[in-house]
Structure 1
Amino acid sequence: MSGTSNEPPWLQAERDYTDEVVGENTIPQLFAESATRHANRDAQWYKGGIYQRSLADGIVPAAPKDQYASLTYDEMLNVVQRLAAGLRDIGMETGDRVGIFAGTRMEWAQSDLAVLSAGGVVTTVYTESSPRQVRYLLDDPDADGVVVENEALLERVLEVEDDLDLEFIVVMDELDDEAHVERADVFTLADLYRRGDEAFDPDHWDEWLHSREPEDTASLIYTSGTTGQPKGVQLSHANFRANINGVRKRFGPRNDKPADVPVLDESARSLSFLPLAHVFERTAGNFVMFASGGTVAYAESTDTIAEDIQLVEPTTATSVPRVYERIFDQMRAQATESDTKERIFEWAIEIGREHARTDDPDLGLRVKYAIANKLVFSQVKEQMGGNIDFFISGGGSLSKRLAELFEGMGLPILEGYGLTETAPVVSTNPPEDPRPGTLGPALTNVDLKLDSSVITTEQAQKARPDSKIGELLVKGPNVTEGYWEKPEATMDAFTKDGWFRTGDIIERTSDGYLVYHDRLKQLLVLDTGKNVAPGPIEDAFATSDRIQQVMVMGDNEKFVSALVVPDFEAIRRWADREGVDIPDTNEGICNDPQVREYVEAEVDRVNEQFEKYERIKEFRMVPVEWTPENDLLTPSMKVKRRNVLDRFTGKYDDIYGEQEARAAADD
């Protein structure tokens, strides 16, 4: 393994740790063993009044409207077994590929484990996918069947079914359309369960469970497609299993951990809301939790997190930086109800941040922190359910300042790093030694090295004196064998000696902690020859009180610029507070000179943190928030830079004068 010369004692303890969770079997075998150990503990919580769940028709208890009901591990195992038997009964065979096209809910996890238990391979489709994308995501893996959430998504599949070779379609919710009910190849999840209940045989179940080896493909997870057509990442049971092992060793109940260090065990309860079609939530938010015997509660939607987190009172949750930014924005918005509350909030969070950054706070800081905790932090923690041990952040770079602010409030965010191709976790901050602004050390079953030959001198100078920097290369049992039916892409993704190229510029400190710098492909090369990493500049706006989203531009141009989405609600509050007359519409706000001056002051503040050539010289405000729904963010909340540029070409042209240049070229 890739240890460092001054490895801390806890990391060696992690390396040596093993328990009943750590093993080398398949995912359904892992789940079945955990369900047996934790039979009477709650496995899943699900909310009522949201879906027309077909399983609620006498199979699982119907949850009260806007409240949560629960399934024990024994009850969940029963559902998984019957669904697996039902899949076999309608013709699924070992090795068949079955798509799941649904939002994050308990049935996604049940369907996932049922397909895997029946010997199948799960492929993924994001709910935002258009019919064209649905066709690709089911046709590329040659899916034999698909599980969809409801009739709306069923219609999206039926729109392109002539181009597919589907043998069956399963719908999680009830069917209302008679035409759908009458189709012989369309089943509800309840239909599947009842067929499976009649056909279930423990011996057959055992055969299916052992029909697959750890090295067999468990899932094809399609990349978000930020650059070109999505690729199907082949992940085996062994890839997922290795990642669960590595995470368990870091977060499990090791004897060397002090009593005040939180762990992930059967007492853990998480709130799940990221897309389960994304590997991060599926592995960290579901597989790891089920392996540990914890409880997974499914949020109604990302818009109801504030409400759901109070109902669930979780100990942990996995999310992406964009969601933590929104949570912080909501905290700040509540604090701006009066000038006094706003001043107290801003004072308190800075005291908390100072406390978090100080190893041995003096009496004065401790007193101030106690006051801040009583006035602000205790209330914030109650709003987060009152039980949070830690949050996990992945899927993008988290602002160091934001991480320090959360830690200062007693809500630590443990940032990690990973990719779909690594199942996904490569590194994560440990609960016993978290360091905001870093990605933590690598898991102990993951090997790393840095290729410094691909970076510039300027990039190398960004690292600390005792650190190394370069493109991060990864090896380990969690790493994919390649992309589905794309041998050239697979070959390009690996070095000749078998290291996976992450495409990320990463710094590694002398004690093994990783620090994210940027994507190699996203580096801006100014026409002066200077290289600019947009990520750190964009992250610097994460806690802005007036800017919601930023995309830095300037490749092949003379200077750096940016497209800016203002925080329109915050802008309106500022205008009301200051008596500033601004337009009613978002478009009008973006064109208002007073708003521009207010936003420009924030851009100037951020610019002070960077070298002159890295500073934003020009910016244009845009009136549309970037979301997965308008195809300007990926489902995992990363900016689709190409799509944003296409959408706002006029703004780019306005900054750099490209229209005139093109006109001159045409002449």
Structure 2
Amino acid sequence: VRPRQFFGVPRIWEKFAAALRTGLARLPEDRRAAVEEAAAVARAHVAHRERGERPPAALDESYARARDEVLRPLLALAGLDRVTWAASASAPMPQDVVRFWAGLGIVVMDAWGLTETTGVATTNSPRTGFRLGSVGRPVASVEVRTAADGEIEVRGASVFSGYLRADGTVRSALDADGWLATGDIGRLDDDGYLWLTDRKKEMIITSTGKNVSPALVENTLKEHPLIGQALVHGDRRSYLVALLVLDAEAAPVWAAERGLGPADDLTALAAHPDVLAEVDRAVAAANARLNRTEQVKRYRLLGREWGPATGELTPSLKLRRRVVHTLYADELAALYAG
């Protein structure tokens, strides 16, 4: 299958990116250099479009050459060489994943909405404008604003009026002015683009009263290729801890290149000193980019990937935090012991 249009939730784009990165790591140095050079040209081309500018003719020519000679053959490995429209929704997309795909010439147009907004409420568009990492601007039928605490509120013709009761009456979910509180936290920039932070109910409030977005911290941790999944914990605690899961595709390649065995045994790799040392460096690098409240003080590395079948993810691959908290209650408690 080689689709022209492709939609995937963030976890799908993350998995494809991990697989391609694994393939790139196996290439000879000269070929990796060629891909990196082509990716730099693609990102420069996307940057002009992101600013609403027409790319210079010379850049257009360089990008066309890089796309045809380097990027499309690489994308063909994942069946994505014919994609002209790519999109995502349902959760904040990690910035490094968005930028990775932009470097391959695929601009993922992120969108946001709820059942209560009859689907899409904001979207990026190659025709009307986009910002990588945002979920775009409001569609014509919707107004968007943020409350004092950052909660996103929407109003408009496509926003429902309320919830149907068993007796057939409708319980209004709107305030007196018709605004719906969505339960999502975010911000609007000066150009009207909406940037998601997290679900309001999932925000961590530390023992000192600081608010932390777990998704922001988790996405920063997952920028290292060895870390495929993450859960940050610390509600009503004085510091944050994390459960980290080895990437099932990248970790065996990383281990095999260093002669660590058995490279395909993720549970064994999760306990290997060399792997732990590398993950220590990954956590330290992530912490260097986060403020003090957001930094992870301790973590536990796991070797079994989370998924819908084992309960940690929903069918749409969203993290089920309460399930993970329950399944790994002992591991989380141990991170705060002593």
TM-score normalized by the length of structure 1: 0.46
Partner Cα distance (1:638, 1:552) in 2: 14
Deviations 1:161-184 (A, max 9, x none): xxxxxxxxxxxxxxxxxxxxxxxx
Please point out which of 72, 88, 100 is paired with 1:393.
88
2:140, 2:185 → 1: CA distance?
Answer: 21
Q: Tell me the alpha carbon deviations over residues 594-618 of structure 1, each in whole angstroms, 9 at most, x when there is no partner.
A: 1111122222222222112211111
Match of 2:252 in 1: 572
Letter in 2 for 1:357: A
How far off its partner does 1:507 sit?
0.9
**Is residue 415–residue 428 contact of structure 1 (8 Å, CA) maintained in 2?**
yes
Residues 511-565 of structure 1: CA deviation (Å, up to 9, x unaligned) = 2111112221111111122221111222224543211111111111111121111
Structure 1: gaps spanning 5 or more residues: 1-307, 456-469, 661-667
Q: In structure 1, what is the Cα distance between the partners aligned to 2:83 and 2:152? A: 32
Classify 1:548/1:492 alpha carbon distance in 2 versus 1 (closer, same or farther; 3 Å): farther
Indicate whether 1:431 and 2:121 are aligned.
no
> What residue is the counterpart of 2:42 in the other structure?
352
Instruction: Check the 8 A contact 1:586/1:623 in 2, yes or no.
Output: yes
* Higher Rg: 1
Alpha-carbon distance between aligned partners in 2 of 1:427 and 1:551, rounded to the nearest angstrom: 27
Partner of 2:25: 336
In structure 2, C-alpha distance between the alignment counterparts of 1:612 and 1:486, rounded to whole Å: 48
CA deviation vs aligned residue, 1:92-150 (integer Å, no higher than 9, x gap): xxxxxxxxxxxxxxxxxxxxxxxxxxxxxxxxxxxxxxxxxxxxxxxxxxxxxxxxxxx
User: Quick check: 1:562–1:616 contact (8 Å CA) kept in 2?
Assistant: yes
SS in 2 for 1:568: coil
Contact map agreement 2:41 2:62 (CA 8 A) in 1: yes
Native 8 Å contact 1:325 1:543 kept in 2: no
* Cα 1:381/1:568, change in 2 over 3 Å: closer
What corresponds to 1:378 in structure 2?
72
Q: Does 1:417 align with 2:112?
A: yes
In the TM superposition, what whole-angstrom CA distance separates every residue of 1:640-660 from its partner, at most 9, and x where no partner exists? 000011111121011112xx8
Structure 1 residues 442 and 560: alpha-carbon distance in aligned structure 2, compared to 1, 3 A threshold: same
Quick one: distance in 2 between partners of 1:598 and 1:352? 30
Partner of 2:191: 511
Q: Is the 8 A contact 1:381 1:410 kept in 2?
A: no
Partners of 1:365 and 1:619 lie apart in 2 by: 44
Alignment CA distance shift 1:523-1:392 (3 Å): same
Q: 1:78: which partner in 2?
A: none
Q: CA 1:584 to 1:634, structure 2 compared with 1: closer, same or farther past 3 Å?
A: closer
1:499 to 1:323, Cα distance in 2 relative to 1, 3 A: same
CA, structure 1 residues 380+480, in 2 after alignment: closer, same or farther (shift >3 Å)?
A: farther
Distance of aligned partners of 1:635 and 1:493 in 2 relative to their CA distance in 1, 3 Å threshold = farther
**How far off its partner does 1:587 sit?**
2.2
What is the deviation of 1:581?
Answer: 4.2
Contact 1:565–1:623 (CA<8 Å) still a contact in 2? yes
Q: Secondary structure at the match of 2:138?
A: coil
- The amino acid that maps onto 1:601 is R
Are positions 1:596 and 2:304 aligned together? no
Amino acid at match of 2:25: T
Superimposed CA distance per residue, residues 270-317 of structure 1 (whole angstroms, 9 cap, x where no aligned partner): xxxxxxxxxxxxxxxxxxxxxxxxxxxxxxxxxxxxxx3x2xxx2212
Amino acid at match of 2:18: D
Q: Does the 8 Å CA contact 2:122/2:136 hold for their aligned counterparts?
A: yes
Spell out the pairing of 1:501-580 with structure 2 (5 A cutoff): 501-580=181-260
Aligned-pair CA distance for 1:483: 3.6
Name the residue aligned to 1:473.
Answer: 153
- Please give the root-mean-square deviation of Cα atoms over the aligned residues, in Å: 2.8
What is the aligned partner in structure 1 of residue 141 from structure 2?
Answer: 445
| 1:162-173 matched pairs, under 5 angstroms | none
Q: Is the 8 A contact 2:255 2:263 kept in 1?
A: no
Could you tell me whether the CA contact under 8 Å between 1:563 and 1:621 is conserved in 2?
yes
- Give the Cα–Cα distance (whole angstroms) in 2 for the partners of residues 379 and 409 of structure 1: 10
Asked if the contact 1:583/1:592 (under 8 Å) is kept, the reply is no
| Residue 496 of structure 1, CA deviation | 4.3
Matched ranges for 1:147-226 at <5 A? none
User: One-letter code of the match for 1:428?
Assistant: T
Q: How many residues were matched structurally? A: 329
- 1:346 deviates by 4.7
Structure 2 counterpart SS, 1:549 = strand
Alpha-carbon spacing, 1:330–1:376, altered in 2? closer, same or farther (3 Å): farther
1:16-75: CA deviations, max 9, x gaps?
xxxxxxxxxxxxxxxxxxxxxxxxxxxxxxxxxxxxxxxxxxxxxxxxxxxxxxxxxxxx
1:407 Cα deviation (Å)?
2.4
Residue number in structure 2 paired with 1:624:
304
SS in structure 2 at match of 1:580: coil
Match runs of 1:93-112 below 5 Å: none
> In the alignment, which residue of structure 2 is the partner of 1:648?
328
Which AA in structure 2 matches 1:427? T
Q: Within 1, Cα distance between the matches of 2:98 and 2:263? A: 35
Counterpart-to-counterpart distance in 2, 1:641 and 1:319: 21
Whether contact under 8 Å (2:133, 2:195) holds in the other structure is yes
Q: Secondary structure at the match of 1:551?
A: strand
Structure 2: distance between partners of 1:319 and 1:583 = 29
Contact 1:315 1:390 (C-alpha < 8 Å) held by counterparts? yes
Name the SS of the counterpart of 2:137 in structure 1. coil
Equivalent residue of 1:391, what SS?
strand
Q: CA deviation at 1:324?
A: 0.7
Give the letter for the 2:85 counterpart.
Answer: F
Q: CA deviation at 1:337?
A: 2.5
* Matched letter for residue 562 of structure 1: A
